[in-house]
Amino acid sequence: MTASRGETSGPFRIGDRVQLTGPKGRLHTVTLEPGKEFHSHKGTIAHEALIGLPDGSVVENQAGVEYLALRPLLKDFVMSMPRGAAIVYPKDAAQIIAQADIFPGATVVEAGVGSGALSLWLLRAIGHDGRLMSFERRDEFADVARGNVETFHGSLPENWSITLGDLADALPETADEASVDRVVLDMLAPWEVLPAVTDALKPGGVVLCYIATVTQLSRVAEAIRATGAYTEPDAHETMVRGWHVEGLAVRPDHRMIAHTGFLLTARKLAPGTILPELKRRPSKTDFSDEDVELWTPGALGDRNVSDKSLRKRVREAGKSATLAREPISEASAEATADVSSDDAATDARDERSGEAG
């Protein structure tokens, strides 16, 4: 039987990503390869010293500095993986899963695959019986996302697809009308794809927009209202503040993860349904199309990433995926653990002999 890279237990194996925590809490993530070493200003650790060790072990470098070795959690993995585009942070990914009600077995459309961070969270939420259809306009970003997802899972999930092209054109050709449970839009101008999204969503389905600025938030909210096909949009943002807890010294951290983006959700109405008008206090909400264009210019522009940087990130993601793709059986994993344990014991005896000398 072949062990899966998606499993989060067992000894460290070749191709695994390992998170090393130094004495001051600094994190270093390495991909285990034979003959390689982890280098820092405090010394080196041979990858062979890690291969075969159980998760949660402590290792020493050649200078005697101790590091805690753990297999990264998904939130750790997405923060350290190669990036083609900016990622959706774990705090927002958690809220996306909750607010969009992503459930096992759901059919989900994701537009703007970026570096694959949100894809990993969505794949975990929908399970093996669900289906994730991702759409990306730039092939370089798609390559990075494929490499990252393959690195984490060990292979490309069968229930995941990436379609290159604009969602407005590609979605009608990929999904039948009223066949999609949830749509997650992480893009600059989500209002441009609302007609295609509305056709694909089932009645009662959820559309969620992840947007960065107040101007985008205003425009997409008004565009959703204008369709007459959705419930009243609900918008919010998530801020996370850690706490320092040590003895009687209990206080908020001086730093926090504040604004990264807005989440806006709405649910599709049944055909022919007219949403009851909400009673609101009078306010200055009248505006024209010219006002909207001044508030949010139509040409927002793409985030520019240099070609050189993209090529490097594609190579890094592909290299990690190649290492993770090689299947390792339980028997070979146990053999690797035995060899690594013997090597570690030999190294430890040699080091003690050197110190004694």
Q: Among 22-31, 95-104, 202-211, whose mean pLDDT is lowest?
A: 22-31
Determine the Cα–Cα distance for residues 180 and 327; give it in Å rounded to an integer: 34
Q: Indicate the pTM of the whole model.
A: 0.79
User: pLDDT value at position 305?
Assistant: 67
Query: What pLDDT score was predicted for residue 336?
Result: 46
The residues of the chain that CATH labels 3.40.50.150 are 76-273+288-302
pLDDT reading at 314 higher than 90: no
CATH of segment(s) 11-72? 3.10.330.20
Q: pLDDT-derived band of residue 210, with 50, 70 and 90 as boundaries?
A: very high
The one-letter amino acid at 5? R
Range 142-178 burial, b when 16+ CB lie within 10 A, else e: bbbbbbbbbbbbbeebeebebbeebbeebbeebbeee
**C-alpha dist (Å) from residue 27 to 23, 144, 255:** 10, 23, 18
Over the stretch 123-179, which tens digit does the pLDDT of each residue have?
999 999 999 999 999 999 999 999 999 989 989 999 999 999 999 999 999 999 999
Res 304: pLDDT: 64
Q: What is the pLDDT of residue 281?
A: 63
Burial status of residue 313 (CB atoms within 10 A of its CB: 0-12, 13-18, 19 or more):
buried
**What confidence score (pLDDT) does residue 339 get?**
40
What is the per-residue pLDDT for 208? 98
Question: pLDDT grade, residue 5 (50/70/90)?
Answer: low
Q: Is the pLDDT of residue 244 over 50?
A: yes
What's the pLDDT at 296? 58
Phi then psi for 195, rounded to 5 degrees?
-60, -45
Task: Look at domain 76-273+288-302 and name its CATH class.
Answer: alpha beta
Is a pLDDT exceeding 80 seen at residue 220? yes
Output the pLDDT for position 340. Answer: 45
Q: Between residues 44 and 335, which one has the greater pLDDT?
A: 44
186, 188, 194, 195 alpha-carbon torsion, rounded to 10° = -120
309 against 129, higher pLDDT: 129
Answer with the residue of higher pLDDT: 268 or 319: 268
Quote the pLDDT of residue 10. Answer: 85
**Which residue, 92, 12, 96, 72, is CA-closest to 46?**
12
Domain(s) of CATH 3.10.330.20: residues in the chain: 11-72
Give phi and psi for 242, each to the nearest 5.
-80, 170
- Predicted confidence at residue 312, as pLDDT, reads 76
Q: Give the pLDDT band of residue 85 (cuts 50, 70, 90).
A: confident
Summary mean pLDDT of the chain: 85
